[in-house]
Amino acid sequence: MSRYAFLILPSHNRVYADAAPAMARAELAVLSAALPDGAIDDGSVAEADIGGVRYVTFEADGLTGADTALLANLSALYALFEVTGATGSELLRPVPLRRLDRYDDDLLTILKYAGKTNEQFTKLLLNVTLASSAFAGELSSPGDRRLAVLDPLCGRGTTRNQALMYGFDAYGAAVDARDVETYAAFIQRWLKDKRLKHQADFSPVRRDRRVVARRLTAEFAATKDEYKAGDVQRLEVIEADTTQVSEFFRKASADVVVADLPYGVQHASHAAGRGSPGERRALARSPLDLLRAAAPVWAKTLRPGGALGISWNTFVVRREDAAAALAAAGLEVLDSDPYRGFRHRVDQAIARDILIARQPVAPDR
Ligand X SMILES: C[S@@+](CC[C@H](N)C(=O)[O-])C[C@H]1O[C@@H](n2cnc3c(N)ncnc32)[C@H](O)[C@@H]1O
Of the pair 67, 353, the CB lying nearest ligand X is at 353
* Site stretch for ligand X (CB under 6 A), options 60-68, 259-267, 300-308, 338-346: 259-267
117 touching ligand X, by CB under 6 A = yes
- State the Cα angle at 118 between 145 and 307, rounded to 5°: 35
283 touching ligand X, by CB under 6 A = yes
Q: Which of 68, 120, 138, 155 binds ligand X (CB under 6 A)?
A: 155
153 touching ligand X, by CB under 6 A = yes
Say how far apart CA 145 and CA 73 lie, in whole Å. Answer: 20
Q: Which residues contact 236 (CB under 8 A, 6 or more apart)?
A: 170, 171, 172, 215, 216, 217, 218, 249
Which H helix or E strand runs over 150?
A: strand 148-151
Query: Residue 348 burial by CB count (10 A; 0-12/13-18/19+): exposed, middle or buried?
Result: exposed
| Backbone phi and psi for residue 62, each to the nearest 5 degrees, phi listed first | 60, 50
Q: How far is CA 27 from CA 88, 111, 156, 338, 360, in A?
A: 27, 26, 25, 8, 22
Q: How far is CA 268 from CA 113, 117, 190, in A?
A: 17, 18, 31
356 touching ligand X, by CB under 6 A = no
Q: What is the DSSP string of 12-63?
A: SSHHHHHHHHHHHHHHHHHHHTT-SS-EEEEEEEEEEEETTEEEEEEEEE--
CB of 28 to ligand X, least distance (A): 23
326 close to 308: Cβ distance less than 8 angstroms: yes
322 touching ligand X, by CB under 6 A = no
287 touching ligand X, by CB under 6 A = no
Of the pair 4, 248, the CB lying nearest ligand X is at 248
* Site stretch for ligand X (CB under 6 A), options 8-16, 82-90, 109-117, 212-220: 109-117
* Site stretch for ligand X (CB under 6 A), options 92-100, 282-290, 316-324, 328-336: 282-290
260 touching ligand X, by CB under 6 A = yes
Of the pair 122, 133, the CB lying nearest ligand X is at 122
CB of 311 to ligand X, least distance (A): 8
Of the pair 140, 242, the CB lying nearest ligand X is at 242
Site size for ligand X, by CB under 6 A?
Answer: 24
108 touching ligand X, by CB under 6 A = no
* Beta-sheet strands, E only, within 261-317: 302-313
Say how far apart CA 300 and CA 304 lie, in whole Å. Answer: 10
* Site stretch for ligand X (CB under 6 A), options 7-15, 97-105, 157-165, 342-350: 157-165
Q: Which of 242, 254, 325, 334 binds ligand X (CB under 6 A)?
A: 242
CB of 136 to ligand X, least distance (A): 22
Q: Which of 67, 138, 239, 241 binds ligand X (CB under 6 A)?
A: 241
CB of 271 to ligand X, least distance (A): 8
* Site stretch for ligand X (CB under 6 A), options 148-156, 223-231, 295-303, 339-347: 148-156
Q: What is the DSSP string of 168-182?
A: -EEEEEES-HHHHHH
Q: Which of 34, 70, 71, 174 binds ligand X (CB under 6 A)?
A: 174
In the chain, the N- to C-terminal Cα span, in Å, equals 45
126 touching ligand X, by CB under 6 A = no
Nearest residue to 178 via CA among 269, 263, 276, 106:
276
Q: Which residues bind ligand X (CB under 6 A)?
A: 115-117, 153-159, 173-176, 179, 241-242, 260, 262-263, 267, 282-283, 290
